[in-house]
Amino acid sequence: MEMSPMIESFVFHFGEMGSRWGFNRTVGQMYALMVVSDKPLNANQMAQALNISRGNVSMGIKELHSWQLIQQHHIPGDRKDYFSPKGDIWDMANTVFEERRKREVDPTLSLLRDILLDAPADDSEAYAQDKMREIHDLLETGTQWVGELQRMNPDNLSTLMKLGAGVAKVMDFKEQLLSSTEGKSDKRDR
């Protein structure tokens, strides 16, 4: 099994980029290859196409499994395991965000929360805590928001995306109708 130049350029590029997204080059290549393959692939095919060792492929599969990005198939009469991406591209994006949040943001939030429980020993610690609180609040608001977007049904999300900055207009609109039921707008302090 060998890749056409078109597929090759995609796979290699994805390998480089993939490393930025939390997995290494070969794992990125493996995933890219599965995405553009119209049928599930077995480990040997991947090793051959990407010119990497069989052992490396095995590690990569394990990693992609832990990211919940792939799916295993059993083809009757064939003892090899076949793999394909799980879900569609949208699901992939969701999964990657989700996993990254678990690995990167959650531990940071937890550390910040712990630190913020301690009373500051002096002015410089008080200053530091203020900054940490800002970061904490930003991360918390951000993750909550992303979580809500992810839980939103795809239709509404799509509308929202297409709406883009127009969302501001809708909100103004709402505010006009419902104005003066709430306190004055709370500005972000800068």
85 DSSP β-pair partners: 70
Q: Is there binding between residue 159 and DNA (CB under 7 A)? A: no
Q: Which residues of 4-37 are buried (b: 16+ CB within 10 A; e: fewer)?
A: eeeeeebbbebbeebeeeebebbbbbbbbbbbeb
Question: Minimum distance between the CB of residue 56 and DNA, rounded to whole angstroms?
Answer: 4
Q: Is there binding between residue 9 and DNA (CB under 7 A)? A: no
Question: Minimum distance between the CB of residue 65 and its own copies, rounded to whole angstroms?
Answer: 21
Question: Minimum distance between the CB of residue 67 and DNA, rounded to whole angstroms?
Answer: 14
Find where tokens 């707008």 sit.
185
For DNA, the closer of residues 42 and 136 by Cβ is 42
Query: Please, where are the H alpha helices in the chain?
Result: 5-18, 25-36, 43-50, 54-66, 89-100, 106-117, 123-151, 154-163, 166-178
71 DSSP β-pair partners: 84
Q: Which does 10 bind (CB under 5 to 8 A by kind): DNA, its own copies, none?
A: its own copies
Please report, as residue ranges, which positions from 168 to 187 form the binding site for its own copies (by CB under 8 A).
Answer: 168, 170-174, 185-187
For DNA, the binding residue among 78, 91, 130, 137 (CB under 7 A) is 78
For its own copies, the closer of residues 75 and 168 by Cβ is 168
73 DSSP β-pair partners: 82
Q: What CA–CA distance (Å, rounded) separates 105 from 98?
A: 10
Please report, as residue ranges, which positions from 64 to 123 form the binding site for its own copies (by CB under 8 A).
Answer: 88-90, 93, 100, 103-104, 107-108, 111-112, 115, 118, 120-121, 123
Tell me which residues touch DNA (CB under 7 A): 19, 24-27, 42-44, 51-56, 58-59, 61-62, 78-81
